Structures are given as structure tokens and as C-alpha cells.
Chain A
Amino acid sequence: MTGNRKWNNGETNNQNKKAKIVCTENLAHEYSRRDENGNIIEIVRAIDGVDIEVEQGDFIAILGANGSGKSTFAKHLNGLLYPTEGAVYIDGIDTTQKEKLLTVRRTAGMVFQNPDNQIISNVVEEDVGFGPENLGVPTMEIRKRVLDCLKSVRMQSYRKRSPNHLSGGQKQRVAIAGIMAMRPKCIILDEATAMLDPVGRLEIMDTIRSLNQEEKLTIILITHYMEEVTKADYVYVMQEGKVALKGTPREVFACTEKLTECRLTIPKITQLAQELNRAGLPVPGDVLSEEELLACLKI
């Protein structure tokens, strides 16, 4: 399908780009490694020809091993890095247009791995208000947004508290509220659950699912926890800077061998279903959840 699109005439192509919230075209990023004297010793192609299109309101997951290029990719989506080759369009805007950078960052907000690196204020509500304040939003409007956003991540009762005394999951929810307060169309979470305990991880997953479903926010989730992507609309798997696999979670998790080659795995429930399938039980090998598995066993 992507192959065909390339042969379309320029006009249709352009319209396509504008309709997508995120669109990358043959994106490549190279960086050079230097020795102590500053001489270039190696050029690393961290991303190598990535075409990804995301529709407004989609929930997309990007999987990949350490060093597969997924974080480098994410940094292109809000102008923290620029392409060496190819292009990135956010809501139709080319990210290399310097005068539009603020619009790009307001459209696509990013949540990072370590909650402690993202909180700057001593009071939760001030932290959430920091973004819109910098954008020059009127005070009354900021107040309203802060309250709304803390409600949508279910942290409103903590608004007067110090972020230092919150758990990791709570801090990440405050960070998400801070992004929400800038009214983005898309949120990118770069391994935002990696440092959290199981409850914290669930809190974040519930939060982003409800933002996606109720507020129709586009979600791009970067992770290597297989269980987190089972509810995504679409999954991309990265390997050595390229997209190695793409499809619905069901389609992607059917490719056990390819995933292993990418240093990944499939969810335990799917592994169990595949074992049962092999033993001749009426369970398909692409089961993604406990409920589904129990339903197949007719109990």
C-alpha cells in the first residue's frame, strides 16, 4: 500500500499528508561518533527509511529492542531532532519549518521515561500550568485547563500537593496532564512506563486509553512491554532503524519468529494459546487476552 502511494501524483500525496496527524516519508537519521580528538570515527544510521502514517485519533504502538531506533524516531515527532533524509509532517506541518516549531510542539507533546526529570514545580497544579503559561494563555483559561487536565488523569485531589511525594505512576500522570494542558492533538510516550511498578504501569495504561477513547487524542506509545500494545489499533516493530513488521497487534504477534529475531517476544497469554493450539485444543494461536482464552475453552 505504501508502495502505491509513492507513485501517486504530487497533489494527492500532499492532501494525504495534510489529513494525517503524523506522517513520515522515507525518514532517515544519521549521527556521527567521534574519538577524544573530535575526529569522526563512525557514522551511525539510527533510522533508515521509515514511512509511518497515523490517523487522528489512532492508538499506535512502536515496539523495538534497545538500540533499534525507536527513541530517535520519537524525537523527530516534535522537533527535538531533524531528519538527515526524508521528512516528518505533524498535522500537515513539515517539522523543519523553524517558525512553526512551537506549533509542532504544541500539537505533538512528549512524555519521557523518567518522571523525576519532567517535574519542575513544587506544587502539582503549578507544574501542570507551566506549559500553557509559557504559551501566553490567559490566567482564567489556565486555571480551567489545569483542573480539566488533572481530572482527566484522575489526579485532581492532589492539585495542591508537592510532586515530590507522589509515586512514580502519579508523577507520570501529572506529566501527562502538563502536556494535555497545552491542548495537543497527539501524545507521544517514550517508554513512559519503564521505571514504574505494576500498579503505576496500569494507571498510565488506563489513563492513555481513556484519553484516546474519550478525548479522541492520538496516542503513540513506545515500549518494550508486549502486554501494553495488545489494545493498540496498530503496531510498528522497529529493527536496526527500519520498520520490520507492522499490523494490528493480532497480526504482529502471529509473527513469533520475526519478533524473536527483533529481540522481542509475544505476550505470555498468546504463548499459552499457541501451546494449546499445537496440542489440538480449539484455541486459535492469536489470542491476546485472558477473557478471550477462557471464552475459547467455553467456560
Chain B
Amino acid sequence: MSLILQNVSFTYDRGGSNEKQALTNIDLEIGSQEFTAIVGHTGSGKSTLMQLLNGLEKATEGKIYFHGRDIYEKGFSMKELRSKVGLVFQYPEHQLFESTVLKDVAFGPRNMGWENLQIELNAFQALKEVGIGEELFDSSPLALSGGQKRRVALAGVLAMQPEILVLDEPMAGLDPAGRQDIFQMLSRLHQERNISILFASHSMDDVAEYAKRMIVMHEGKIVLDGPPRKIFRYEKELKQIGLDIPSVTKVMHRLRDRGIEIDDSCLTVQESAAEIVQWYRKGAIE
């Protein structure tokens, strides 16, 4: 399973007065088993890229292949693509509209023309997976708390049984515990249902903690792509394009700057603490 972008460019309002090139020559492959973060400052092209992945916007140049098939080819089912590549917008809870939670989640599958039993089963399962209890199925989605609403919106996409879940800042506006809940849920979906996860984030701490791969965008181009441990070595370059590195990694870099022999690729609090303790004890013995 894979989604391949070949030399993809995208221009908004082509030929119009507000013409703006949002993406330039993107080559990218998203495989199965991914837990990947896309980072970049506002306007770097993250959201546009995400919208191309499920056919919401059409590339002005280049090709996109899903399971080896050109998605712009005649006869390719965009409907199918949109169910297999599930897109979750920023603040998705703003799009809840049905009278009950269950109906809202079933809206996508119903549009796919599936059988009633299948629709209900999918909706039911999706709500279970995001941790919404049965007692809430008949409530109005508007009566739920912010965190619950976001999970219901996510269930609506999950009910389409996607292979890839593309999320535009899924943690925006949530408190620390809410952020952790969402991430734990995504990890579970990734491990148990083999769903590939692609998420945009402004939090380098979250990226360091959860992502296995990290794609850095700047002015419509992919400028870095690799494991966070490698990417966060480029502190100066990341800062130049309006990004940052995790706060604990920064401490390790500063120690290293001062000539201390220490592994400065640490990403988490525990890792950094272990490394500093080891260095400190070695010094104490000498």
C-alpha cells in the first residue's frame, strides 16, 4: 500500500489575479506503517499538500499514484480514494451537523452507498475506537465537550475505513491531557488497525515524542525528510525557516556547544536525563 507523489506542483488561482504557487516539485512516498509528522510554519504548504493527498485539490502539475494507479486517470474512483485516505481538517468539530452522534458518524459511509448494516457497524466500531461510550450515541454532537466533539469528528472519518489517516493539526486548541488522549488513540489505530498516520503539527515536543518520520516544508517545498532524531540536528536551519527543536534537545545541544562529550540527539526527558546523569557521574569519578 502506498501513496506516491511525483514531481507535484500546485498553483492557486492559476492565471487569475491572486495566482500563488503553493507547492513546487514535490516527490514523496507515504507507505503503510507510517507515523509521520509534517512540520512547517504557516503558509509553508502543509495543508495544501494534505488536500492533494485525498483528491480534494488537483495538482496543477505532476502525478499522484495510489496503489500504483494514477489518481487523475479516467475511470479512477475519487470516491474510493477519499474513503481510503481519510482527511481530518483543523478543528474538525466545527463540521459536526447531524442531530445525533451516531448519525453524524454514519454520514460518510452512507454517502459511499454501503448497506445499512455495514454503515451502522462501521459507525459503531469507529465510535468505540475513539472512546465514545454508547450512552452518548443518541446525544446531539453539539452537547458534547470540546475533546469529545473532536473524537466524534475523527470517528466520522474512521468509519470510512481508511488505510491512511491524514490529520491537519489534530491537537490544536486541546489541553495537555487532551493532546495525549488524541495521540494515544492514534497510536492504537496505527498499531491495531495498521492505519498509516500523517499529521501536521506545530509542536516539536509532540513530533519528537510520537513521530517516526518527519517531513519539513518551507515555501512549498520539502526541505528535510527523515527520522526526527536526525532532522533535529539541524537546529540552525530549522530556526531559519521559523521552526524550532524540542526544548530538551536544545539543552543537549547547548551542553555539546560547551565542549561536553554527550549524545545530543536525545528527544525525550527520560533520554536526556539518563545521558546527563551518566556524563555527570563520570566527571565526579575523575
Contact = CB atoms under 8 A, between A and B. Distances in A.
- Interaction A to B: yes
A197 B273 contact: no
A293 B174 contact: no
Contacts of A75: none
Contacts of A279: 273, 277
Interface in B252-283: 254-255, 258, 260, 269-270, 272-273, 276-277, 280
A299 B260 contact: yes
Contact of A196 (B42, B247, B250, B276): B42
A137 interface: no
A294 B175 contact: no
Interface in A112-140: 113
Interface stretch (A2-10, A208-216, A260-268): A260-268
B217 to A, nearest CB: 12
Given A281-B277, A297-B280, A66 B246 contact: no
Nearest to A283: B276
A33 B143 CA distance: 9
B251 A272 contact: yes
A267 B247 contact: yes
Given A272-B269, A275-B273, A281-B277, A197 B176 contact: no
A281 B254 contact: no
Nearest to A289: B247
11 contacts: A33-B143, A191-B173, A197-B202, A199-B41, A200-B42, A263-B175, A272-B248, A272-B273, A275-B273, A276-B273, A294-B254
B276 A276 contact: yes
A236 to B, nearest CB: 15
Contacts of A263: 175-178
B43 interface: yes
A170 B272 CA distance: 35
B226 interface: no
B204 interface: yes
Contacts of A155: none
Given A198-B244, A272-B269, A290-B254, 17 more contacts: A64-B175, A167-B43, A196-B42, A197-B202, A199-B41, A224-B176, A263-B178, A264-B176, A265-B177, A268-B247, A271-B269, A272-B248, A276-B273, A290-B247, A290-B251, A297-B255, A297-B276
Contact of B177 (A113, A168, A264, A269): A264
Contact of B258 (A195, A267, A299): A299
Interface residues of B, number: 36
Contacts of A269: 247-248, 251
Interface of A: 33, 64-67, 113, 167-169, 191, 194-201, 224, 226-227, 260, 263-265, 267-269, 271-272, 275-276, 279, 281, 290, 293-294, 297, 299
Contacts of A265: 176-177
B258 A198 contact: no
B147 A66 contact: yes
A65 B269 contact: no
A113 B94 CA distance: 15
Contact of B175 (A195, A198, A224, A267): A224
Given A196-B42, A268-B205, A299 B251 contact: no
A263 B174 CA distance: 10
A76 B178 CA distance: 26
B272 A67 contact: no
B181 to A, nearest CB: 9
A198 B177 contact: no
Interface of B is mostly: helix
A195 B174 CA distance: 11
A197 B145 contact: no
Given A65-B175, A66-B175, A197 B242 contact: yes
B223 interface: no
For B176, B246, B269, the residue with the greatest tally of chain A CB atoms inside 10 Å of its CB is B176
Contact of B272 (A168, A260, A272): A272
Contacts of B243: 198-199
B31 interface: no
Contacts of B147: 66
A294 B255 contact: yes
A106 B118 CA distance: 58
A195 B246 contact: no
A299 B204 CA distance: 26
Identify the 9 closest CB pairs spanning chains A and B, nearest first.
A275-B273, A263-B177, A65-B175, A199-B242, A265-B176, A268-B247, A279-B277, A224-B175, A271-B269
Contact of A66 (B174, B202, B270): B174
A168 B43 CA distance: 10
Interface string B223-257: 00000000000000000001110111011001100
Contacts of B131: none
A275 B177 CA distance: 21
A198 B204 contact: yes
Contact of A65 (B178, B248, B272): B178
B56 interface: no
A269 B273 CA distance: 10
A264 B174 CA distance: 10
A65 B177 contact: yes
Given A66-B145, A272-B248, A168 B273 contact: no
B269 A268 contact: yes
B185 interface: no
A100 B251 CA distance: 51
